[in-house]
Structure 1
């Protein structure tokens, strides 16, 4: 018997002063049985960092990246069903990033963990040539702290200012300082 996904609800208040985005989306996230809480929270963080907050624009959506190899973790499609933004979290395979880069206008990767420098060193040469690609490294200890915010029903606040990110639940706040690997800062 196959295990089922665990459903999480998140009420997210976003104040991204760097981009001028202010939004309060109500989100439903499905945690795949093989997905840990860190990865779940990085997907939620990626949503907060890339949503536009505009009702008249195509929305950012959680895709089935854990179960469908042909889909990212998050994406934004135009109303004509073209992929505008492709977002993967973790350390995706190089050929999937190449494929994503050719299928979408913009591709983002949020990597974290002790193996990120090794992964980037192996793939930097090839990936650096892809158009529209951004690769961000999230410090592993900060991502681990994000897992402490997980609850089946979450009320979270995300504030972004001067490249610093704070994600909290009213009782605990985690500061995240992403480092851009590509294009080089």
Structure 2
């Protein structure tokens, strides 16, 4: 019998001062059995940084040909492809031909090494790449509850999360814009 995902419910009061975007997000996030809390929270942050109508979580890890988050137009054209982690160059090259916008958010301990190795290739592609520092993601993951109400403020590419169990400050470092 296959393991089932763990379901998390978030109510996030989002104040994105960088984009003048304000909303209350009601997110239901399925954590894949092989996914860490840190990766799941990096997905939530990526969603919040790009929040807009039509943006959805995909089946992600369960379906290798899909990003973690995407937005499709009314004509089913792929508008945004958002990956979390350290994807292979070929995957992103293909995505950049399919979607109008491609973004990558790396977040873990190997993120810097991955970027040093892949940077030259990614520079040839019209993609945006950012990194969340690993210690900040670990701090954020320590605040997670299965059902949580929190606030997230984004200012000068820094995310400030306040939740019942504490607060976290997560810089979003632009590597390629």
Name the structure 2 match of 1:28. 28
RMSD (Å) for aligned C-alpha atoms: 1.1
CA distance in 2 between counterparts of 1:70 and 1:158 reads 30
Runs of at least 5 residues in structure 2 that lack an aligned partner in the other structure: none
CA distance in 1, matches of 2:91, 2:143: 30
With 111-120 and 59-68 compared, the bigger mean Cα shift is at 111-120
CA-CA distance at 1:116 after TM superposition: 1.4
Query: How far apart are residue 95 of structure 1 and its match?
Result: 1.1
Give the match for residue 77 of structure 2. 82
User: Which of 150, 154, 163 pairs up with 1:160?
Assistant: 154
Give the match for residue 163 of structure 2.
Answer: 169
C-alpha deviation, 1:114, in angstroms? 2.3
In the alignment, does 2:112 pair up with 1:121? Answer: no
TM-score by length of 1: 0.92
**CA displacement at 1:98 relative to structure 2:** 1.0
Deviations 1:121-158 (A, max 9, x none): 21111111112x11001111000011112111111211
Gaps of 5+ in 1: 53-57
| 2:45 corresponding residue in structure 1 | 45
- Matched residue, 1:55: none
Between the aligned partners of 1:45 and 1:163, the Cα distance in structure 2 is 12
Structure 1: 4+ residue segments shifted above 2 A: none
